[in-house]
Amino acid sequence: MTDKEYLNSLRIPTKDNPLRILMSACLSGITCGWDGTANGEYPSALKVLQYDTVKVFKFCPEEFSFGSPREMCDIHGGTGFDVLDGKAKLLTESGHDWTEGILEASAQMLKIAQQENIELALLMDISAACGSQVIYNGNRFSDNKVYQIGAGVASALLIRNGYKVISQRDYASLEILYSKIDPSYPIDPTKLDHHEIDWYKKYFKLR
C-alpha cells in the first residue's frame, strides 16, 4: 500500500479515540538535535500538535543512546535496512562506531510504537535514524557530500515491522493526514511528497 493509500484509509479520529502518531522529538521543538538545537521550523509537522483529536508520542532515538549534544553520525555502506542486517554501520564524524547504540535506540522506538498502538510515524527526513525518503551516503561533512534514497535505522525498523513512516517533507501525504484529522480541511492538490519533487528526480536521475 502506498503512503497516500494508507493515509486515505485512516479513520476519522475523535477526542475519545485520537489518532496515535509517533513523531521525531526534534520536529516538535524539543532540543535533541546533534548540536543541541531542534528542528521545530516545519509547520507541516508542527500542525499535528494543535489537535485534541491527535495523541503524539515524541521520541529521539539518537538522544536515547548518545545524549545531546553529540557528534553527528551517518550511515556508511548502505541504508538503515543494511544496518539492521549487519551490512552497514553508523559512524560518527570522528569515526566512532555507534551501530550498537542506534540499534538499541531503534528497538526502543519500535517498542513505543507497539506499546502505544501508533497508527503513523511522522519523522525527520535525512536523519540517519529518522530519515524515511532520503539519507546521507556516508559522512555529511566530507567535501563530497552525497545523498541516497533510503531510510534511517529507526525508520527502517518501523517500516520492517509494518508501520507507515512519512516525513515532514511529504506534503501531499500530510494534506491527506490533515483532511482525516479535520474533515473540513481543504486538500491542496498541488502539494507533492518528497520523492515527487524536481530536486529528488534530478538528483537521483529518475527522469
Candidates 2-10, 23-31, 71-79, 185-193 — which segment interacts with ligand SF4 by CB under 6 A? 23-31
Q: Which residues pair with 126 in a beta bridge?
A: 135
* Binding status of residue 129 toward ligand SF4 by CB under 6 A: yes
Q: Rank residues 8 and 31 by Cβ distance to ligand SF4 and give the closer one.
A: 31
- Cα 200 to Cα 43, 78, 81, 122, 203: the distances in Å are 21, 19, 20, 20, 5
User: Which of 33, 80, 101, 150 touches ligand SF4 (CB under 6 A)?
Assistant: 33
In sign, the C-alpha dihedral spanning 61, 161, 82, 127 is negative
* 32 lies in the site for ligand SF4, by CB under 6 A: yes
Using CB under 6 A as the binding rule, whether residue 80 contacts ligand SF4 is answered as no
Least separation, in Å, of the C-beta of 140 and ligand SF4?
Answer: 12
75 by DSSP, 3-state: which? strand
49 grid coordinates: 500538535
The DSSP bridge pattern shows strands 73-76 and 89-92 to be: antiparallel
Q: Which of residues 95-114 bind ligand SF4 (CB under 6 A)?
A: none
Give the residues lining the site for ligand SF4 (CB under 6 A). Answer: 24-26, 32-33, 39, 60-63, 124, 127, 129-130
